[in-house]
Amino acid sequence: MPWRAATIRRSTMRRSLCSRVDASARFAAPGRRSFASAAIALGCLMVLAAATGCPNPKSDGTDGGSKGTTTSQAAVPDKLTLAGVKPAADDVLMLGYNDDPDTLNAITSSDTVSEAFQRHVYETLANQSFKNPDEFEPALAESWEFDEENLEFTIHLRKGVMWHPIKLPSGKLLPPTEFTSRDVVFTFDCILNPHVEAAHIRSYFEDPDATGDDKSMITVRAVDKYTVKIRWKKPYFLAKDFTLAGTAIIPRHVYSVDENGEPISFDFRSKEFADGFNNHWANNMMCGTGPMMFKEWVPQQRLVLVRNPDYWGAPYYFSQIRYQCITNPNTMTQKLLGGELDFAGIPDKDQYLQCFENENVKAKKVKLVDYAYPGYRYIGYNMDRPVFQDKKFRWALAYATPVDRMVTEVFRRLATRTTGPFLPGSSAYNDQLPEIPFDLDKARELLAEAGWKDTDNDGIADKTVAGTKIPARFELMIFSDAPSFRSIAEMFKEECRKIGVDVQVAPTKWQTMLQRLRKREYDAALLGWAMSWRQDPYQIWHSSQADLPDSSNHVAYRNPEVDKLIEQLRVTMDEEKQIELYHQIHKLIYDDQPYTFLFGEKATGGYNTRIRNVNFYKIRPCHDSREWFSDTPRPMPK
């Protein structure tokens, strides 16, 4: 199931909700790009979440897809790749993904599938280093300085970088355009526009104490064509992270115009502009500066990228990346084992262990791997629903959740329990908090204390709230294409039944999950967050985000004490004090149980051994396909 992304999204950092994911989504996203957006939904929510319907734009093709510019076979770049080898003349990297995102817009999307596509196409000002995540490497910015007294970054942009070619819906090719400071300022204008559907990113650049319409915590201005100044209005402990790697930079000449090439609005902070941007004609395409260029997207079938022959940096080894839409995880696994895919996840742990008996695995044609993935799974409760507003009810659900059995029976011990919203093993994680045991008697006791009783003898507890009798019944939304999560949802349902709580499991497609999460049209959801190296809990846990329809606080969690601690954390520069604040935040969220925190699972999957130089890292997506090469080419499909 896809993940949503939390706290610094990356090519190297980025994204949030349910970092909205299953292992297949994680494996579908090799590469790098640092978007410092707080949490990314994991795949299926844990993909954190994609929205409703998939786009079905007009196309030049016959299969209903979106087309990029048509290019002939480009010359092979004469530069070496990051692995120090020559790029392949004709070699296709075959990957899979489990469901379509609802948009490819790099500003408004917030799931790991769109992130996987985008990381090869878009770039940030700087990249978080895979080998040393505390360091940043120049990307679209060649260099930068920070004025500590004025809290201002001066960023010197790389010259001669060109945006990929792209056509208007009419087929007219937009003229070749150089990346400049105008694009950087435009990108931040879009993010800071309160009407743009980018609350998951915007929250990191907003001041929770601000009054009035302008809540932005930064000012961005172009000094000249290749110089930008970004000033923070107050100290922020992740200012460097979000300034340099907080968002992909998008092209002004594309996203500022309508389908006819005319300006949407000259005021990029207006609602008129936001309406055009949120529903932009290019939302089913991609136009970046990265090593790969968008060629086509046919929903429910494939997305294709081709190598950028004029890329400013080290070229991508493979001439093309083809993502196949494979909604069935069993099919994904069989295609990996049969040599049809080069890299894929195997989220079902039983299936993963069984794969060691496969002939191609034994023959070393496919290598199986497992590695730590920075994220966690949870059951999130929509606290605007009356049934979830009583903390004792939520604690009863926590005691009724057989997490240890889920880890053992479903995930075959390839997962580790967690008690809160920060990464286990990190300095932010409060390891003094005990895991909540499975205890149905304690769950029943808490329900009784909270006034939940079966007054009509139907086996389901009920309670009168604000004069209305409500049953202890709710729908649990889960990703429809993740069998392992169906298994744990059924475990949860069965144990809840024993305490008089009726859980109705609702398998849902990823796009629909994302839509319902954004609109809060759900009761509870089994999700996951993909985490960044450094975390700002504001995006997911601050009360100011609870009423925003597109925010990552999709459970509408509100706690003034947590708000105060988060606000204090954001302006605290002392690392020891930061740790203390993290631990206090963890404790308060643990006490409130807005989520039933489950576990962080190991990513499991495999890759075709024709792929060389596959390394694994601590930060998402935990591998860097720019380093890969092959000694056995896979020709491009005719």
Using H for helix, E for strand and C for coil, what is the string for 84-135?
Answer: CCCCCCCCEEEEEECCCCCCCCCCCCCCHHHHHHHCCCCCCCEEECCCCCCC
Question: Taking 50 as the threshold, does the pLDDT of residue 23 lie above it?
Answer: no
Which helix (DSSP H) or strand (DSSP E) does residue 477 occupy? Answer: strand 473-479
> Could you tell me if 15 and 101 lie in one domain?
yes
Question: Taking 80 as the threshold, does the pLDDT of residue 8 lie above it?
Answer: no
Question: Looking at residue 235, what is its pLDDT?
Answer: 93
> Could you tell me if 149 and 265 lie in one domain?
yes
> Could you tell me if 322 and 383 lie in one domain?
no
Which helix (DSSP H) or strand (DSSP E) does residue 518 occupy? Answer: helix 510-519
Q: What is the largest CA-CA distance in the chain?
A: 77
Q: Among 110-114, 123-127, 210-214, 590-594, where is mean pLDDT lowest?
A: 210-214
Question: Looking at residue 6, what is its pLDDT?
Answer: 54
Question: Looking at residue 614, what is its pLDDT?
Answer: 97
> Could you tell me if 482 and 582 lie in one domain?
yes
C-alpha–C-alpha distance, residues 110 and 8, integer Å = 11
User: What CATH number did the domain enclosing 360 receive?
Assistant: 3.40.190.10
Confirm whether 211 is domain-assigned. yes
> Could you tell me if 166 and 190 lie in one domain?
yes
Question: Taking 80 as the threshold, does the pLDDT of residue 273 lie above it?
Answer: yes
> Could you tell me if 268 and 217 lie in one domain?
yes
What percent of the chain lies above the pLDDT cut of 70?
A: 88
Average pLDDT in the 158-186 region? 96
Question: Looking at residue 66, what is its pLDDT?
Answer: 73
CA atoms within 13 A on the CB side of 589: 32
Question: Looking at residue 59, what is its pLDDT?
Answer: 37
- Cβ–Cβ under 8 Å, residues 510 and 44: yes
> Tokens 């895991």, residue?
435
Q: Three-state SS for 524? A: strand
Of the pLDDT bands very low, low, confident and very high (cuts 50, 70, 90), residue 7 is very low
User: What CATH number did the domain enclosing 565 receive?
Assistant: 3.10.105.10
Question: Looking at residue 200, what is its pLDDT?
Answer: 86
Instruction: Compute the mean pLDDT over every residue in the chain, rounded to the nearest whole number.
Output: 89
Tens digits of residue pLDDT in 391-419: 999 999 999 999 999 999 999 999 999 99
Q: Which domain holds residue 75?
A: 3-122+284-373+604-630
Q: Read out DSSP for 292-310?
A: EEEEEEETTTEEEEEE-TT
Average pLDDT in the 115-134 region? 93
C-alpha–C-alpha distance, residues 349 and 306, integer Å = 33
C-alpha–C-alpha distance, residues 417 and 406, integer Å = 10
C-alpha–C-alpha distance, residues 430 and 427, integer Å = 8
C-alpha–C-alpha distance, residues 546 and 502, integer Å = 26
Q: Which is more confidently placed, 73 or 308? A: 308
> Could you tell me if 347 and 437 lie in one domain?
no
Of the pLDDT bands very low, low, confident and very high (cuts 50, 70, 90), residue 9 is very low
Tell the burial category of 561 from Cβ atoms under 10 Å away from its Cβ (0-12, 13-18, 19+).
Answer: exposed
Tens digits of residue pLDDT in 190-235: 999 999 999 889 988 988 778 777 889 999 999 999 999 999 999 9
Tens digits of residue pLDDT in 412-470: 999 999 999 998 878 899 999 999 999 999 999 999 999 999 999 999 999 999 899 99
Question: Taking 50 as the threshold, does the pLDDT of residue 155 lie above it?
Answer: yes
> Could you tell me if 45 and 9 lie in one domain?
yes
Nearest to 33, CA basis, from 110, 115, 107, 93? 115
> Could you tell me if 183 and 219 lie in one domain?
yes
Confirm whether 467 is domain-assigned. yes
Question: Looking at residue 38, what is its pLDDT?
Answer: 39
Parallel/antiparallel/unpaired status of strands 92-97 and 320-325: parallel
Parallel/antiparallel/unpaired status of strands 524-530 and 375-381: antiparallel
> Could you tell me if 440 and 577 lie in one domain?
yes
Confirm whether 261 is domain-assigned. yes
Question: Looking at residue 378, what is its pLDDT?
Answer: 98
DSSP 388: G
What is the phi-psi region of residue 413: left when phi exceeds 0, alpha when psi lies from -120 to 50, beta otherwise? left
Question: Looking at residue 196, what is its pLDDT?
Answer: 96
CB within 8 A of 527, min separation 6: which ones? 4, 17, 18, 20, 41, 42, 44, 45, 46, 47, 48, 49, 377, 378, 379, 380, 517
Domain final residue pick, 221, 245, 278: 278
Confirm whether 636 is domain-assigned. no
Question: Taking 60 as the threshold, does the pLDDT of residue 52 lie above it?
Answer: no
User: What CATH number did the domain enclosing 213 receive?
Assistant: 3.90.76.10
C-alpha–C-alpha distance, residues 378 and 164, integer Å = 39
pTM across the whole model: 0.78
Confirm whether 485 is domain-assigned. yes
Q: Three-state SS for 246? A: coil
> Could you tell me if 109 and 197 lie in one domain?
no
C-alpha–C-alpha distance, residues 89 and 288, integer Å = 22
CA-only gyration radius of the chain, Å: 24
Q: Where are the alpha helices (DSSP H) in 119-203?
A: 181-192, 199-202
> Could you tell me if 108 and 155 lie in one domain?
no
Domain final residue pick, 217, 246, 278: 278
Q: Which is more confidently placed, 42 or 343? A: 343
Question: Looking at residue 69, what is its pLDDT?
Answer: 56
Average pLDDT in the 552-581 region? 95
Question: Looking at residue 542, what is its pLDDT?
Answer: 95
The number of folded domains in the chain is: 3
Of the pLDDT bands very low, low, confident and very high (cuts 50, 70, 90), residue 1 is low
User: Looking at the DSSP assignment, which residues form a beta bridge with residue 183?
Assistant: none
Tens digits of residue pLDDT in 65-116: 677 654 445 679 999 999 999 999 999 999 999 889 999 999 999 888 999 9
Domain final residue pick, 278, 301, 327: 278
506: its two tokens: 């609702």
Of the pLDDT bands very low, low, confident and very high (cuts 50, 70, 90), residue 290 is very high
Of the pLDDT bands very low, low, confident and very high (cuts 50, 70, 90), residue 508 is very high
Confirm whether 635 is domain-assigned. no
Confirm whether 637 is domain-assigned. no
- Cβ–Cβ under 8 Å, residues 280 and 242: no
C-alpha–C-alpha distance, residues 247 and 8, integer Å = 9
C-alpha–C-alpha distance, residues 310 and 119, integer Å = 17
Confirm whether 219 is domain-assigned. yes
